[in-house]
Amino acid sequence: MPFDICVLGLGYIGLPTASIFATKGKRVLGVDVVPAVVDTINHGKIHIEEPDLDVLVRAAVQSGNLRAAGTPQPAGAFIIAVPTPFNTAGDGRKTPDLSYVEAAARSLAPVVAAGNLVILESTSPVGTTERVRDWLADELRRAGSPLDATRDLLFAHCPERILPGQMLRELVSNDRIAGGLTPPAAERARQLYATFCTAEIFATDARTAELAKLTENAFRDVNIAFANELSLVCERTGVDVWELIALANRHPRVKILQPGPGVGGHCIAVDPWFIVDAAPEQARLIRTAREVNDAKPHHVIAQVLEAAGKITGGAGNATGGAGKKVTVAALGLAFKANVDDLRESPAVEIVNELAKHTAAGGEKPLQLLAVEPHIRALPAKLAAGGVELAALENALARADIVLLLVDHAAFRAVQPAALAGKTLIDTRGFWHR
């Protein structure tokens, strides 16, 4: 008997989605190209960190409704939830990398049947759902299949909106959009997600759904860029940015977000580029916001080098001259608080650059200690650069400079005495708040 649903990609979106469908009684096959992921899930375990996801996956696997495999099998509906990163061209232009989506779409050719619903859940540039249909149609033609993708299959884009750290709650309670290539496709997708989504599900066309998802993340990026730009204005004018924002936010129609060391993650730092790529002449504000946010890590790096220079006694010492190494305790590597996800993390970029930093004489003037309670081992590039993964207390005791990069709850335990006499660079206003 075919599965009810086959989910392609068992990452941060595919795994919770597959699991929640399974706990609602759907027979689900989860597909991933990484054998270790398939194995882990079939043992009822998880390979990513997200509150309560372990409990959900265990329940789904134990119920017998969720199984993982390396290739798709026949199902009533297919959900594609694979990554959509971008490539950077030689001239710096960012273009969407749809290779994972294309591979997933083509992999369905041997298993699809008339009446199947194919849902693209990956965040994608406008027009990608049409391309999914065309890739699959092409593969069916090559295989000599009698199926005609446009006539026999239904296609929809149903983007997710769940916030890492609160995924399971938001999966159920967030409104959703179901954008079909045809109205019947949108309706079928709407009905499918109503299996577990208790909020409203709005039917629309696929292109509107694609742009709506990109718009939501671009909106947040532009608003964070505003806060990050304010932090630079405040530094220049000698104003405390945290107090400024708190006061401005007392206006009934002002809600400024928080500055930080930059914007990370696989969504907000990526998705606005898909809009810029599609409409470069029009998306000027969206592009500038990306540039403002991408520049913030470089500003933090400059702040640390300046502080290190002061510690070693005068200009140039952090960047040149022999003498004592300055020890920097970098608190947090994840892209945001209370998650283990290091993808596109500004904290990783900052630590990596500081560790690579070489003084005029050729020596490295900084010793980097990274404190990240959510990981067990450093990313290879940091380890290779001489960064040491340290426990919080140990790092604080050894540090000349304490660089707060992520506002993890675990760092609340830091006592003021542990920071006494250290240079503090608090990129999140953590100790201010």
Q: By the criterion CB under 6 A, which residues form the site for ligand SAJ?
A: 123, 160-164, 216-217, 220, 224, 257-258, 260, 263-265, 267-268, 335-336
Asked about 213 being catalytic, the answer comes back as yes
Nearer to ligand SAJ, 189 or 241 (CB): 241
CB closer to ligand SAJ out of 163 and 254: 163
- Residue (221 or 400) nearer to ligand SAJ, CB: 221
The 10 Å Cβ neighbour count of residue 315 is 12
Neighbours of 54 (CB within 10 A): 14
Please provide residue 54's backbone torsions phi and psi, each rounded to the nearest 5 degrees: -60, -40
Min dist. Cβ of residue 403 to ligand SAJ (A): 15
Q: Considering beta carbons, is residue 59 or 168 the nearer one to ligand SAJ? A: 168
Closer CB to ligand SAJ, 12 or 21, in the complex: 12
Nearer to ligand SAJ, 51 or 74 (CB): 51
**Smallest distance from ligand SAJ to CB 173, Å:** 12
The nearer residue to ligand SAJ, 224 or 351, going by C-beta atoms, is 224
List 158, 267, 296, 336, catalytic entry: 267
Closer to ligand SAJ at the Cβ: 202 or 310? Answer: 202
End-to-end CA gap in the chain = 56
- The answer to whether 201 and 175 have CB atoms below 8 angstroms apart is yes
Separation between Cα atoms, residue 166 and residue 299, nearest integer Å = 30
Least separation in angstroms between CB 230 and ligand SAJ = 11
Dist CA 292 CA 285 (whole Å): 10
Structure tokens that stand for 182 in this block: 């045809």
User: Could you tell me if 185 and 154 are in contact, meaning their C-beta atoms sit under 8 angstroms apart?
Assistant: yes
Among residues 230, 254, 409, 247, the alpha carbon closest in space to that of 334 is found at 409
Among 26, 213, 296, 336, which one carries the catalytic annotation? Answer: 213
- Positions annotated as catalytic residues are 213, 267
